[in-house]
Structure 1
């Protein structure tokens, strides 16, 4: 799929990976429907990208079914079509499953802690993916859905909730690839490793150095490297049902 004049929706678009992907795709000629809960940040990103392409911001809660249905309805009203969805929005609420001392459990990951991450990362991706696919079918457009997973999908200490959610979005990607191909819609996933973000920039130098040493290529990934992978998936019409690991070799 050539990106020029195609309409791309990106969730979690007001910063970090979302903003990097929006910039990459805008430079390729895509029109942007940017989704985020943070209205102020969303407006700033839209203003910055408006010099590159046509862009509209949509502030709604991706975990709320009615909000998602209405939001994608507005996107189709504004642009007349939808070609790509990047399910990028996600949260971290890390914690151990259990903590114990002297044979007695002292702490548990709460249901709320587990469910909060599942709601955003997995349920939100499901709702947005469903409505995006419906919009693509009803406007008779070829489409692509890209779900942002994580290297943590293989399982990681202190991330029961996050790992489960990111494994889930890969499974959805594979299922959707098989289900939606008859409608001309492809689906794939990207699983980033440790990416340089505002959070990593604020780490102590010695902690950051240790993290970099864990990565075989010897550095953190850049948001643009993830963004360019998303662009490749969209543009290559033979990519379907696969997960692309952009992790510097940390998961071998």
Structure 2
């Protein structure tokens, strides 16, 4: 559709009118849910955060198991974090933890919102539920890392917490977010950092390098965490990531054999 194409081209202001017409005129259309999601995205992109978040919330409420629902929840949280309204964040936390059926994405985002609010107990409750219900999911592993790399009560990590998007998204991390997270972690790991804080920051740096495809540096930092971190679970996580990085590194090219003249 025209609206979808305009959103994909980041021409958000132009996308809003046709998407508004589609959603209003075709309430029973098979693709109306997609249209509501795209309308929310378009309004956010056009600068109307209030209406965009409202559209995405309506989309999730009506279609909790839709394939785009995880992306919608994530976009809502990112928009609210950017606005920094604690009342809105608290309301979103309640919505996420009450949502049924429970999903890995919803529980993970609930923990991320609680962390942004400085509510460690609620963060841990959401992420504990995530690990219990979905133990093998990638987001369960990320929750373990974030609870160690970015503790909500550690003032040294204020700058790191602001890089939520860099560790909170799934595998499709945006390059600019990984770069921003890398800078934040480098600042935390500087002179004066204690052993535990430095290990968490090194783990964050390693993850950012991995997401940027910088395999040698990621591997080096993961190995440093394995060797130096006082946190056994973080050491095990870093060891697992190091093995994954080794498997993903491109194999060295073999030099062609030359026949003697």
Common fold by TM > 0.5? no
Using the size of structure 1 for normalisation, the TM-score is 0.30
More strand by share: 1
Q: Which has the higher helix share?
A: 2
Higher RCO (CA < 8 A, seq sep 6+):
1
Normalised to the residue count of structure 2, the TM-score between the two structures is 0.29
